[in-house]
């Protein structure tokens, strides 16, 4: 089809475009490679299959905003198909009388899919352009009180427009070219849409159609050559970088499991993240993978209650900074600004509840929560700069092994109730189950109610259990999530040594934070234990017929704890428990979509950052609107926050742990 001169010109243009794009991709690689740790590739084939599964199925995109996600998937599938289409078009241009994939069954289906997906992608892209530039929904915006890089809002709009127009023009001109081909060569039943449009060109002369075919070919493929060098720095790069993110990200035992810091390393000069170059490679890759879809801020409890934190803004700020300083950063030049201050405000840093909602919802596998938690490590360990209220919790954990800083008998909760049989491991060394009571169960009034209720359940079911008593210590979860990794490490080492000496067959705990820490993070310190949550254990006992609570008709709604649900994937057991004794009424945001209570990430021990509403009250209102008589919880922190919110809102709604509800039904 092409003349000799055209073939030479296109080859030169293609070589130039690929060279410029490769230079940009190489800079991106060097930027990512400057990060700490490594990019993970083992086991390789399961990772490859997972990344390809994410790319081809678009399953991570389709789990939210179903209609819009469907249009996005159409564009993504067309993008994948057009790798093949563009190759075919180049070959068609260079080889005379060439039919890509032939004119048999393969060729027919290829032309049909190309025709259908071309139209689908054009419709999908028009939907997104209309949505962004005409409808302008609020979810695409980031509030003015959130720190955003200078000019970022304009850059996002400009980039969206460039990408959108490129897709429309590239696919549109290619589609028009096919319609010109059909007008010249005759109707093709395997290209119904292009065939329909070809009717518009009836009456055009053969020379005019030949010119139109050539012009369309050059416009369609020429736009790619122009766009390729821009592609790595555009938001469109997420179509490539997203699957790479899934291919290389660390396989954490749970979404929020943090890495251990080596305080004894001789060359250690920095603990935590102060500057971009302190981030792990996977966190730098996150910036290039970000779609800028704002799904993370849609589910962020801090953002939704008016705080200065937007996980989306954090990733956008990283991306803007790296694009603006790509060569300097890639060559190893030290950045001249810290992340806190340049990419995240101090208030935003301390607003995160570590609920993992941003991690769970991100369609490209980004982990903005991990950036924040690692920045907190720098603030606490390197600068001693943290909210003053946390000092009391730190002192309590260090001196009295509990964040309440109470120097009392950890068995008082059991001994205060007559007839409650609870033995320590010293008194009952042949126990089968170790009940990890936790600091709330030992010292806090509402937590003590939970501990007593669960102990009654264990006794009723005939479980051979014991507790550690005064040997038990805080797991250190609040210390780690608020940045005091050194304190956490000391507590973890102490607890792992104790548990290894006790050798429990199974550990059950009434606190999801204890569950998460002992089960997922103590492995870093040599502790490998079977740990279950009390709702799981109760469910197991009922299935075995060892517990037979009375059923009732009370309406109950369940608040999913973040550290039981998103962090550890347990949603069914609590609902099984409640369904046995009452009528379960779900809140609009439930299971993996649950809204945080506001206590995680060390928030339990400090004042909530300034916003339009307290997170706990936002969640309580949602529970209250269900009309349920009881708000059921499965975490002492959640119970405290929901109870406090109910008191503040002067609601008469009961807030009770599942253990209390079940114990009363025995």
414 plus 521 within the same structural domain: yes
Dig out the tokens for 50 from the structure. Answer: 């997972």
Mean pLDDT for the stretch of residues 414-440: 95
- Considering the chain, what percentage of its residues have pLDDT values greater than 90? 95
Q: What is the mean pLDDT of the chain?
A: 96
110 plus 14 within the same structural domain: yes
Band of the pLDDT at 406, cuts 50, 70, 90?
A: very high
Say if residue 127's pLDDT is above 90: yes
> Which SS3 state, helix, strand or coil, does residue 8 take?
helix
99 plus 208 within the same structural domain: yes
Q: pLDDT digits over 307-330, tens only? A: 999 999 999 999 999 999 999 999
651 plus 524 within the same structural domain: yes
Mean pLDDT for the stretch of residues 595-607: 97
Dig out the tokens for 119 from the structure. Answer: 């139209």
> Which SS3 state, helix, strand or coil, does residue 430 take?
coil
> Which SS3 state, helix, strand or coil, does residue 122 take?
helix
The pLDDT score that the predictor gives to residue 428 is 97
Number of domains within the chain: 3
H-run or E-run covering 5? helix 4-33
End-to-end CA distance of the chain: 83
Task: Give the global pTM.
Answer: 0.94
Q: Under a CB-based contact definition with an 8 Å cutoff, are residues 463 and 539 in contact?
A: no
Residue 87: other Cβ atoms inside 10 A:
11
The pLDDT score that the predictor gives to residue 178 is 96
Domain span at 480: 388-666
Of residues 513, 163, 519, 584, the one with CA closest to residue 356: 513
Q: Where is the domain boundary, 382, 409, 424?
A: 382
- DSSP string spanning 211-225? HHHHHHHHHHHHHHH
d(CA 480, CA 371): 14
d(CA 315, CA 148): 10
Q: Where is the domain boundary, 199, 229, 247?
A: 247
120 plus 207 within the same structural domain: yes
Q: Where is the domain boundary, 348, 382, 416?
A: 382
The pLDDT score that the predictor gives to residue 565 is 98
User: Cβ-count burial of 105 within 10 angstroms (0-12 exposed, 13-18 middle, 19+ buried)?
Assistant: exposed
Report in angstroms the alpha-carbon separations of 431 from 427, 522, 546, 565. Answer: 10, 22, 18, 29
587 plus 615 within the same structural domain: yes
357 plus 392 within the same structural domain: no
Is 264 a domain residue? Answer: no
The pLDDT score that the predictor gives to residue 267 is 79
Is 267 a domain residue? Answer: no
Band of the pLDDT at 416, cuts 50, 70, 90?
A: confident
The pLDDT score that the predictor gives to residue 462 is 97
Is 415 a domain residue? Answer: yes
192 plus 337 within the same structural domain: no
Is 263 a domain residue? Answer: no
The pLDDT score that the predictor gives to residue 266 is 77
H-run or E-run covering 181? helix 152-185
The pLDDT score that the predictor gives to residue 97 is 86
The pLDDT score that the predictor gives to residue 120 is 96
Mean pLDDT for the stretch of residues 423-440: 97
> Helices 238-248 and 281-289: crossing angle, nearest 10°?
150
d(CA 556, CA 654): 10
Mean pLDDT for the stretch of residues 330-354: 96
Band of the pLDDT at 1, cuts 50, 70, 90?
A: confident
> What's 36's DSSP letter?
B
Is 298 a domain residue? Answer: yes
Mean pLDDT for the stretch of residues 89-111: 93
Say if residue 636's pLDDT is above 90: yes
Is 265 a domain residue? Answer: no
Q: Under a CB-based contact definition with an 8 Å cutoff, are residues 443 and 402 in contact?
A: yes
Is 266 a domain residue? Answer: no
Half-sphere exposure of 524 (CA within 13 A, CB side): 19
The pLDDT score that the predictor gives to residue 550 is 95
| CA 110-111-117 angle, 5° bins | 90
Q: pLDDT digits over 548-591, tens only? A: 999 999 999 999 999 999 999 999 999 999 999 999 999 999 99
Dig out the tokens for 347 from the structure. Answer: 């208030």
Q: Under a CB-based contact definition with an 8 Å cutoff, are residues 194 and 179 in contact?
A: yes
Burial 139-151 (b: 16+ CB within 10 A, else e): eeebeebbbbbee
The pLDDT score that the predictor gives to residue 268 is 81
CB contact set of 72 (below 8 Å; sequence gap of 6+): 58, 61, 124, 128
CATH number, residue 309:
1.10.1060
Burial 112-138 (b: 16+ CB within 10 A, else e): ebbbbbbbbbbebbebbbeebeeeeee
21 plus 50 within the same structural domain: yes
Q: pLDDT digits over 272-314, tens only? A: 999 999 999 999 999 999 999 999 999 999 999 999 999 999 9
333 plus 310 within the same structural domain: yes
Please name the residue ranges forming H helices in 325-436.
Answer: 326-330, 339-342, 346-349, 357-361, 368-377, 389-400, 412-415
331 plus 403 within the same structural domain: no
- DSSP string spanning 557-596? EE---TTTTTTT---HHHHHHHHHHSEE---SS-GGGPPP
Q: pLDDT digits over 214-267, tens only? A: 999 999 999 999 999 999 989 889 989 999 999 999 999 998 899 999 998 877
> Which SS3 state, helix, strand or coil, does residue 60 take?
helix
Q: pLDDT digits over 31-70, tens only? A: 999 999 999 999 999 999 999 999 999 999 999 999 999 9
Report in angstroms the alpha-carbon separations of 247 from 49, 210, 240. Answer: 9, 45, 11
Q: pLDDT digits over 353-404, tens only? A: 999 999 999 999 999 999 999 999 999 999 999 999 999 999 999 999 999 9
Say if residue 10's pLDDT is above 90: yes
The pLDDT score that the predictor gives to residue 442 is 97
User: Cβ-count burial of 319 within 10 angstroms (0-12 exposed, 13-18 middle, 19+ buried)?
Assistant: buried
The pLDDT score that the predictor gives to residue 277 is 96
Is 260 a domain residue? Answer: no
97 plus 202 within the same structural domain: yes
């Amino acid at each position: 089809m092409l003349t000799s001169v055209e073939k030479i010109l296109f080859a030169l243009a293609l070589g130039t475009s690929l060279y410029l794009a490769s230079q940009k991709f190489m800079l991106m690689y060097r930027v990512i490679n400057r990060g700490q740790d490594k990019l993970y590739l083992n086991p390789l084939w399961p990772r490859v299959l997972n990344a390809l599964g994410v790319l081809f199925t678009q399953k991570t995109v389709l789990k939210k905003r179903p209609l819009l996600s469907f249009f996005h998937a159409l564009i993504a599938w067309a993008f994948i198909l057009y790798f093949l289409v563009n190759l075919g078009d180049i070959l068609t241009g260079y080889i005379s009388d060439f039919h890509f994939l032939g004119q048999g069954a393969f060729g027919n289906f290829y032309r049909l899919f190309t025709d259908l997906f071309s139209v689908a992608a054009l419709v999908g892209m028009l939907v997104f352009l209309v949505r962004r530039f005409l409808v302008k929904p609020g979810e695409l915006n980031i509030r003015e009180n959130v720190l955003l890089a200078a000019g970022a809002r304009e850059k996002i709009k400009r980039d969206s427009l460039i990408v959108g127009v490129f897709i429309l023009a590239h696919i549109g001109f290619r589609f028009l070219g096919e319609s010109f081909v059909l007008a010249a060569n005759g109707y093709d039943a395997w290209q119904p849409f292009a065939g329909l449009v070809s009717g518009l060109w009836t009456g055009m002369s053969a020379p005019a159609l030949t010119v139109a075919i050539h012009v369309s070919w050059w416009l369609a493929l020429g736009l790619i050559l122009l766009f390729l060098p821009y592609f790595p720095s555009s938001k469109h790069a997420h179509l490539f970088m997203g699957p790479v993110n899934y291919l290389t990200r660390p396989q954490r035992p749970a979404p929020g499991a943090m890495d251990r810091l080596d305080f004894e390393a001789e060359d250690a000069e920095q603990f935590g993240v102060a500057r971009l170059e302190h981030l792990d490679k996977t966190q730098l890759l996150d910036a290039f993978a970000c779609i800028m879809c704002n799904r993370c801020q849609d589910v962020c409890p801090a953002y939704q209650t008016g705080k200065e934190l937007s996980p989306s803004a954090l990733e956008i700020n990283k991306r803007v900074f790296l694009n603006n300083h790509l060569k300097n950063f890639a060559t190893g030049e030290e950045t001249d600004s810290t992340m806190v201050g340049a990419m995240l405000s101090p208030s935003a840093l301390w607003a995160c509840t570590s609920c993992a909602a941003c991690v769970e919802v991100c369609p490209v596998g980004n982990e903005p929560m991990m950036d924040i938690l690692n920045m907190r490590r720098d603030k606490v360990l390197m600068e001693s700069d943290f909210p003053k209220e946390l000092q009391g919790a730190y002192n309590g954990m260090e001196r009295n092994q509990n964040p309440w800083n109470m120097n009392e008998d950890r068995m008082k909760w059991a001994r205060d109730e007559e007839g409650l049989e609870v033995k320590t491991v010293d008194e009952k060394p042949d126990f089968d189950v170790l009940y990890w009571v936790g600091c709330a169960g030992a010292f806090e009034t509402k937590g003590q109610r939970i501990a007593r209720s669960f102990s009654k359940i264990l006794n009723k079911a005939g479980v051979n259990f014991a507790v550690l008593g005064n040997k038990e210590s805080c797991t250190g979860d609040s210390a780690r999530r608020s940045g005091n990794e050194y304190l956490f490490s000391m507590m973890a080492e102490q607890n792992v040594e104790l548990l290894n000496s006790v050798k429990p067959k199974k550990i059950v705990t009434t606190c999801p934070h204890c569950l998460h820490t002992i089960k997922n993070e103590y492995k870093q310190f040599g502790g490998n234990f079977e740990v279950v949550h009390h709702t799981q254990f109760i469910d197991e006992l009922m299935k075995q017929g060892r517990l037979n609570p009375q059923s009732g008709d009370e309406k109950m709604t369940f608040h999913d704890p973040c550290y039981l649900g998103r962090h550890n994937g347990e949603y069914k057991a609590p609902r099984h428990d409640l369904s046995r004794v009452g009528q379960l009424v779900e809140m609009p945001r439930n299971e993996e979509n649950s809204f945080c209570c506001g206590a995680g990430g060390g928030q339990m021990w400090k004042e909530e950052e300034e916003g339009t509403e307290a997170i706990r009250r936002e969640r309580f209102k949602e529970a209250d609107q269900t009309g349920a008589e009881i708000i059921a919880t499965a975490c002492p922190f959640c119970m405290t926050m929901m109870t406090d919110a109910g008191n503040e809102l002067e609601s008469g709604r009961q807030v009770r742990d599942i253990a209390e509800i079940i114990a009363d039904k025995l």
